[in-house]
Structure 1
Amino acid sequence: MFILGYLVIKFGFTNRFGGVSAGAYESLNLGEHVGDDLEKVRQNRDILRQNLGVKKLVFMEQIHSDKVEIFKDENLPPCDGIITNLKDVAICVMVADCMPILVAGKNSVAAVHAGRAGITKKILTKTLNLMAKEFSEFEFEIYVGPFIQGSCYEVNGLDLGEFNIYKNGKNFDMKKALEAEIKALKNYKFNKIEISNTCTHCNSEYFSYRRDGTTGRFCGYIYIS
């Protein structure tokens, strides 16, 4: 929790513990699209909502795009970035190796799903630009939760265009690519940037698609209290 401007903002990242799912999804799986029992997923989401003490959780239908939407207490189209200025509404990004990026401004917050597609399409830049346009945001704090680190993220011979400079042999370093993207954003001020060094592929406290195949999803959440 922190206070930014006149807002009290709370955020965090779940792990795989504290829920009711079983088997490959044990236990706090928050993804409805991975083959888990949907009733158990709904129970897990309600466990999270009650623990946070918010009136509502908002999850995206993530599509590995650069599409960013503003949530205004209505249905949300498929996207990979969500922005809101509503209070007591926790916006969530689900991951199991991708980067869960949380952004706090002075008037709004955002949750961003950034895997290889999101990073190479610069979805964070698009999110910040929309926050600036809609909510006059020019100062930010950025928090990135656990994700697959460059030493484990194999993309083999995949051509990433301008992002090939962030490849080391057959591996792609999303952290270096994101840091370079942020550094290039000269029109904004970043009061804090925290990027996790925890690798989901190596750490069994988190779901990892690359490690396990069939698995659940943990999330990053952020909300205005």
Structure 2
Amino acid sequence: MRLLRPDWPAPSTVRALSTTREGGLSTGPYASLNLGDHVGDDPLAVQRNRALLRTQAGLPVEPDWLQQVHGCTVSALPRAPGAECVADASVAFAPGSVCAVMTADCLPVLLCDEAGSVVAAAHAGWRGLAAGVLEATVRRMQRPGEQLLTWLGPAIGPEHFEVGDEVRDTFCAARTEATTAFRRTGQGRWLADLGLLARQRLAELGVCWIGGGEHCTFAEPERFFSYRRDGVSGRMASLIWLEPHPLPDSAAFEPEDERA
């Protein structure tokens, strides 16, 4: 199983990663590490993939899987066992919960504070970004932006994310600086930089350390799922959690992992 881990100055109590599509048991368009149970894959294969993830990534508990709807609701963890949650971000202030978001082109954003006392994961597609999912997540973390570290996981890159006037207008009407994140490709069509739009909003919140954003899901078919590219697609997961005690970095860094 090949995992991406943030290359960031987070405290040693903070653990975070993004999966790739490699290392699972699903087949066909879901090959192989599909973690989404809502995309048409064999439910048993998804269950086995999630079990593999928990074991090989050293997760302390099952991730808190959200029912994502491209909104800006933030769930506080832990939740009652078995309770479904419609939300696009989650936050945890103590060990014992794993924040998780699933993506296949949308931008996963992982956050923690410098003290290692709170972590969060946000699902930031263009609708969620425009609705304020990052602002809502930072508010729920109850820490000044200056104390936060953020990492942008794999998402569709600015050379492949084509949108219409309505998407550009939504962002530019709210913030004039958003014009720099769009490049015209034709009448009423634009290439949008999802990562830049997220960085602009995080910077406005006072977040000084923003890393990641190097991987394009659309451009790397052997490594990542992409809904825009394939139509029928599996889902990757980005996860973050708190350990009760500091761990040596090597304790959760296997040879197949990559820093990103």
Shared fold, TM over 0.5: yes
Aligned residues: CA RMSD: 1.9
> Which residue is equivalent to 1:47?
52
Structure 1: state its 5+ residue gaps: none
Structure 2: state its 5+ residue gaps: 173-178, 185-189, 244-260
Tell me the secondary structure at the aligned position of residue 41 of structure 1: helix
Letter of the 2:35 counterpart: L
CA–CA separation in structure 1 for the residues paired with 2:194 and 2:98: 26
> Which residue is equivalent to 2:219?
202
> Which residue is equivalent to 1:211?
229
Q: Is the 8 A contact 1:69 1:76 kept in 2?
A: no
Letter of the 1:50 counterpart: T
Deviations 1:139-191 (A, max 9, x none): 111011110011100113334335241321121111221121122124xx53x
CA–CA separation in structure 2 for the residues paired with 1:196 and 1:150: 11
Deviations 1:112-147 (A, max 9, x none): 000010111221111001111xxx565111011110
TM-score for the superposition, normalised by structure 1: 0.90
Q: Percent identity?
A: 30
> Which residue is equivalent to 1:147?
155
Out of 94-103 and 160-169, give the one that drifted further.
Answer: 160-169
CA shift, 1:76, in A, is 4.6
Tell me the secondary structure at the aligned position of residue 45 of structure 1: helix
Tell me the secondary structure at the aligned position of residue 56 of structure 1: coil
Q: Is the 8 A contact 2:26 2:41 kept in 1?
A: yes
Q: Which of residues 183, 196, 209 is equivalent to 1:168?
A: 183
Number of matched residues?
A: 218
CA–CA separation in structure 2 for the residues paired with 1:27 and 1:4: 30
Q: Which of residues 129, 138, 141 is equivalent to 1:131?
A: 141
CA–CA separation in structure 2 for the residues paired with 1:149 and 1:159: 16
CA shift, 1:21, in A, is 0.4
CA–CA separation in structure 2 for the residues paired with 1:55 and 1:71: 12
Q: Is the 8 A contact 1:3 1:9 kept in 2?
A: no
> Which residue is equivalent to 1:221?
239
Q: Is the 8 A contact 1:152 1:171 kept in 2?
A: yes
CA–CA separation in structure 1 for the residues paired with 2:28 and 2:72: 33
Letter of the 2:165 counterpart: G
TM-score for the superposition, normalised by structure 2: 0.78
